[in-house]
Structure 1
Amino acid sequence: MPHAERSPDDLRRRLGDWAKRRLARLGGVEIGTIIAAQGGASSETWLIDALVGPDHRPAHWVLRIEPRGHQVYQDPSVARQYRVIEVLAGESGLSIPTPIAQEDDPDILGAPFFLMARAPGVAPPNDYHREGLLATATRAEREAMWAQGIALMARLHRLDPAPFAFLAPPGNAPGVDGVAQELVRWDRYRGWAAIPHLPLYDHARRWLEDHRPAPRPPGFAWGDARPPNLLFADGRCTALLDWETASLGGAETDLGWWLFYDRMICEAAGVPRLDGIGDAERTVALWEAEAGRKAQAMEWHIVFAGYRFALISERARALAIAAGRLPPEACGAANPAVQLLGELIPG
């Protein structure tokens, strides 16, 4: 259900009744202001202010409701996302909002949902080379924020993947090569998403198969590793966000995603690179220094990121066209991700 179709008053009542039962351990909860979060097309997200306990301590939460009928992703399970957050919140050295509770019963709010603490801070916008937090910062400030993001990504990649075994796609054992798991996952996604056919997708998939890197053990991957999913306050990263596509695909799938996205909104868009935000070579070098190893098969992983990004963005654009928010010609060749994918595939 989109934000516009849900009454904040009804949401407050339903959530308040649920909190009395599920959050009794907090000593009482009074739900206050509820406002729709800005941005984000894949999940319904609300910002909640509450008073907690007998002393009415202020609490600030984020409510994420599993999408129904407007799915960008094939399996948008909030239960899976919440499990990722729970595991990550137990790790030191990471900026992960505290998980509060998760609910499977769809009768409460119309779909499963979870609550987590709301971290302070501001995220860079999608076009971060043009505007927003990084664009208005000094060179030293933005370089420090960029470096923090890469260091935290590398910290994720050093985690033991065993606690994330539940991320293996159905029918795949957790120990199977991470790249193989991801290829299976995105083949299924392409079939499910009913994306209009483009010869480019077949060409890209053949290239990925023909140049598949040597098998590597699974490793935890964020899934949507990019600056807009980082919150900053006073130059310090306060939160890593968005785990809908977390996987066992391994570190390079994240690094390729970071590089593809940055190239798409910068060089491919004809936008000057902000001074202090490293190019691909500097980004990889910093990641390698933080990860303690060399990045492998990065050409392949950047193309794979482009393939995934093109499929996801085509699905999101098709939904927006159906809802009247984009013109019919916004898909295919008009999609910047599709354009860049075509430029990346050798031959």
Structure 2
Amino acid sequence: MTIQQDAPNPVRAGEELNIAALEAYLPIGPITQVMQFPGGYSNLTYLLVCDKKQYVLRRPPVGAKAIKGGHDMGREFRVLSLLQQAGYAKIPQPVAYCEDESVIGCPFYVMERVPGVILRAQSAPKLGLSEPTMRRLSEALVDTLVELHALPVQPDLVQLGKPDGYVQRQVEGWHKRYLAAQTDDLPAMNELARYLTDNLPAQTSDVTLLHNDFKYDNVVMDAELTRLREQPIRAVLDWEMCTVGDPLMDVGTSLSYWAEAADDPFRKSFNLTWLPGNLTRHEFAQRYADRSGRDVSNILYYYVFGLFKNAVVIQQIYGRYKQGLTKDERFSGLLAGVQALSGVGVQAVETGQL
């Protein structure tokens, strides 16, 4: 069965691009059409159609300057360039980066479009994918994460982060980001911050490249999803938060997105892992352990951190909406998402279960 490519929509009002300025700056020729991909709540992503090729442009959301250290387009482009140099094939090929805000009003970068399909929570349930197919795809996600963590961490890649003290810095940093973006009093968020601070894992010498946002809608699948003998994942997208550090932080983040059938509607709304056939969170962690050889006995801590981090990201987006920095009505109800994820985190701590 062939699945249609991820379809872009007309550009949303207030998020238009200066096409003439792009054509003058980019070495890709005349741009015949510009569309916008609807998925995601963070960076804005556009399709640029030229005579012979298609490209993808990524830029920060409106109002992103208020978030210190976030939406770094130059860093994401650099990561893609370093991965390209390291011979990692599952990436879109980077084309150009522009830090001159006079071109379209913000930094941006352009990469080649990888043909294929992106499975999103809103559309995937309508595709009628079988349980064996979903099982295979979820296993492929785990295996791709293992593959990514097996990449040799060359000196250029090490410079992407500071492995020593990585987990502690992440906990402290995301807590500070939450306090900076906080709009309401949410006791569960404070409880999670205390748990993460009081239960920091021991420093590990196991350092790998981390994607930090690894999930279904950040990979491009082969459109022929039912070809069971083929590797279905063609490219990994969204490298904005890529760094080096404890690989279980990556696993925990992926697990925090991994909704199951019995989970609340909000969690099921941004991943399709609840569809029949997918691995459970426990099975995900076990397959990762089996394929990587890593000890995941303390994976609960990393899962709770992932929930906390995602809740902070949602709080940041909601905060921009409350300040009037974006008019996207999708963001108006996101406080409930912060409450949902923090509540799940507290429950996980209390029960000791993923």
Greater shift, 290-299 or 265-274, is seen at: 265-274
**RMSD (Å) for aligned C-alpha atoms:** 2.7
* Alpha-carbon distance in structure 1 between the residues aligned to 2:158 and 2:168: 15
210, 214, 225: which one pairs with 2:202? Answer: 214
Provide closer, same or farther for how the CA distance between residues 195 and 253 of structure 1 changes in structure 2, counting only shifts above 3 A: farther
The residue aligned with 1:269 is 264
TM-score w.r.t. length of structure 2 = 0.81
Partners of 2:34 and 2:46 within 8 A in 1: yes
Partners of 1:68 and 1:111 within 8 A in 2: no
TM-score w.r.t. length of structure 1 = 0.83
Question: Does 2:146 correspond to 1:154?
Answer: yes
1:156 is displaced (CA, Å) by 1.4
Question: Does 2:105 correspond to 1:110?
Answer: yes
231, 243, 249: which one pairs with 2:220? Answer: 231
Consecutive unaligned residues in structure 2, runs of 5 or more: 1-10, 226-231
Partners of 2:125 and 2:275 within 8 A in 1: no
1:71 is displaced (CA, Å) by 6.2
Q: Secondary structure at the match of 1:142?
A: helix
Provide closer, same or farther for how the CA distance between residues 72 and 260 of structure 1 changes in structure 2, counting only shifts above 3 A: farther
* Structure-to-structure mapping, 1:54-93, within 5 angstroms: 58-70=52-64, 74=68, 75-92=70-87
Amino acid at match of 1:250: D
* Alpha-carbon distance in structure 1 between the residues aligned to 2:331 and 2:214: 29
Q: Secondary structure at the match of 1:282?
A: helix
Question: Does 2:126 correspond to 1:124?
Answer: no
Tell which has more relative contact order, 1 or 2 (C-alpha 8 A, sep 6+): 2
Partners of 2:168 and 2:197 within 8 A in 1: no
Amino acid at match of 1:148: A
* Alpha-carbon distance in structure 2 between the residues aligned to 1:117 and 1:256: 30
Amino acid at match of 2:60: E
1:318 is displaced (CA, Å) by 3.5
Provide closer, same or farther for how the CA distance between residues 278 and 100 of structure 1 changes in structure 2, counting only shifts above 3 A: same
The residue aligned with 1:48 is 48
Higher share of residues assigned helix = 1
* Alpha-carbon distance in structure 2 between the residues aligned to 1:12 and 1:30: 9
1:70 is displaced (CA, Å) by 4.2
1:78 is displaced (CA, Å) by 0.2
Provide closer, same or farther for how the CA distance between residues 113 and 333 of structure 1 changes in structure 2, counting only shifts above 3 A: closer
Provide closer, same or farther for how the CA distance between residues 327 and 46 of structure 1 changes in structure 2, counting only shifts above 3 A: closer
The residue aligned with 1:306 is 307
* Structure-to-structure mapping, 1:229-308, within 5 angstroms: 229-233=218-222, 234-235=224-225, 236-263=232-259, 266-269=261-264, 273-308=274-309
Partners of 1:100 and 1:117 within 8 A in 2: yes
Consecutive unaligned residues in structure 1, runs of 5 or more: 52-57, 169-173
1:152 is displaced (CA, Å) by 1.0
Corresponding residue pairs, total: 322
1:157 is displaced (CA, Å) by 1.2
19, 29, 46: which one pairs with 1:12? Answer: 19
Deviations 1:145-193 (A, max 9, x none): 212111111111122344333433xxxxx24132123123313322332
